Each structure stands twice: as C-alpha cells, then as structure tokens.
Amino acid sequence: MTKSVSRAGRPRSFDQQVALGDALDVFWRKGYEATSLDDLTEATQLSRSSFYAAFGSKRELLLHAYRRYADAFHADMKALAEEHDDANAALRAVVKAMVDARPDNRGCFCVNAIVELAPCDPELAELGRAHIQRMCALLEELITRRGTRRPLARSLAATLMTLTMGSAVFRKASVAEDTLKSVQKQALGLLDLG
C-alpha cells in the first residue's frame, strides 16, 4: 500500500511494506527495548505523526514485523521442502536451512523476540507459540512422509524445533561455527539423516 505522507511539509511516496521491512531490520539488530522511536522514524523516514498514523505504536509495529517475518520464514521453509520429491532430502534441507538461517550474529528474529518479550507480553507469546506450532507441523509432516508414525513424528518435530531454535541463540551469541555444525549433525542424526 502506497500512501503520501509529509515530512517537513514535503509530500513523498510511502510504501508501508518497505517501511515495515526497514523497521523489522532495526528491531532485529537492536531488540525491542533498545529500539527508540527515533530509531524507527529514522529507518522508515517518517515523521512521528506519520509513524503513529501508519503503525499505531512501537509495539504494534513489532507485532506486524513479527507476523511478517514468521510468515516469510514458514513460506521459505515450505517452498524449500517442496523442491524435493524425496522426504529425507526435504527434511535434511529444511533442518539445515533452519540451523543456517542467519550466518551473522543477529540470530532468528522470532527467537529473539520470544526470548526478550514473551515472558511479559502475552500477545507476543501467543504469536511465538503459533510460529513454533506451525514450524513443528511442517517438520512433523516431513517426518511422517518418511513413514514415521504420528506420535513419534510429533515428538521428533518438537525436538528438531528445539535444536534449531537453540542454534539461533548460539548464533546470536557468536558461538563457533563448528559447534553449530555439530548441532546440525546431531539434529539430522536423530533422524538417521547425517
């Protein structure tokens, strides 16, 4: 959606999705609490009044950014799985991609937000649970395609999700790459895919 907003009296084109992406990047680098309204208005190139008109509040913007990231991440992993006819190859590709999702030390945006805010923000906690459940469902489906029965597939999916989310925390803490590769190997080893 493109809107015309003014900053210092001059109209300019405003693409809300571009601004949302710019804000997501700031939250991702700095975290929610450390991100100021000035950081967000500078990143989005909006005046404060235009910012509030477009996004409501800093918290509402974070929730929009979280949904956008979670939706894109799920879509990317689903598309990656669909590139492979073989269930083992699909599962291996998805697990590797989830462990390697961020080669820098920013970690996973969803994991970062959950760790920082879920204990004190019930709505963000619910978004986090929904993201985890959706990703577990994708992993479970891939595992059942291999012939694993549903109860075990569900447990393995949750275990894989725990390992991949933990690897995102390791990456954020700049843990050595060989340790992350070891986590990936262990995760794949649970499924005899190493």
Burial bucket for residue 118 (CB in 10 Å: 0-12, 13-18, 19+) = middle
Which run of H or of E encompasses 128?
helix 122-145
Distance, in Å, from the CA atom of 43 to the CA atom of 23, rounded to the nearest integer, reads: 6
Q: 10: which DSSP letter?
A: E
Among candidate residues 56, 58, 66, the one with its CA nearest the CA of residue 37: 58
One domain for residues 133 and 182: yes
One domain for residues 127 and 149: yes
Domain of 127?
Answer: 66-189
Beta strands in the chain (DSSP E): 2-7, 10-15
- pLDDT, tens digit (0-9, with 9 covering 90-100), for 17-61: 999 999 999 999 999 999 999 999 999 999 999 999 999 999 999
pLDDT (0 to 100) of residue 11: 40
Among candidate residues 10, 18, 8, 9, the one with its CA nearest the CA of residue 54: 18
- With b meaning 16 or more CB within 10 Å and e meaning fewer, what string describes 135-168? bbebbbbbbbebebeeeebbebbeebbebbbebb
Kind of pairing between the strands at 2-7 and 10-15: antiparallel
Residue 92 lies in a domain: yes
Helix (H/G/I), strand (E/B), else coil: 44: helix
One domain for residues 176 and 122: yes
- pLDDT, tens digit (0-9, with 9 covering 90-100), for 85-130: 999 999 999 998 888 766 677 888 999 999 999 999 999 999 999 9
One domain for residues 113 and 85: yes
Predicted confidence band at 10 (pLDDT cuts at 50, 70, 90)? very low
- pLDDT, tens digit (0-9, with 9 covering 90-100), for 63-73: 999 999 999 99
Strand partners, 5: 12
Distance, in Å, from the CA atom of 14 to the CA atom of 117, rounded to the nearest integer, reads: 29
pLDDT (0 to 100) of residue 100: 78
Domains in the chain: how many in total? 2
Among candidate residues 137, 165, 73, the one with its CA nearest the CA of residue 145: 137
One domain for residues 82 and 25: no
- pLDDT, tens digit (0-9, with 9 covering 90-100), for 153-194: 999 999 999 988 998 888 888 888 888 888 888 878 877 754
Residue 104 lies in a domain: yes
One domain for residues 39 and 115: no
Among candidate residues 178, 165, 100, the one with its CA nearest the CA of residue 92: 100
CATH of the domain at 19: 1.10.10.60
Contacts of 150 (CB under 8 A, 6+ apart): 140, 144
One domain for residues 72 and 127: yes
Predicted confidence band at 13 (pLDDT cuts at 50, 70, 90)? low
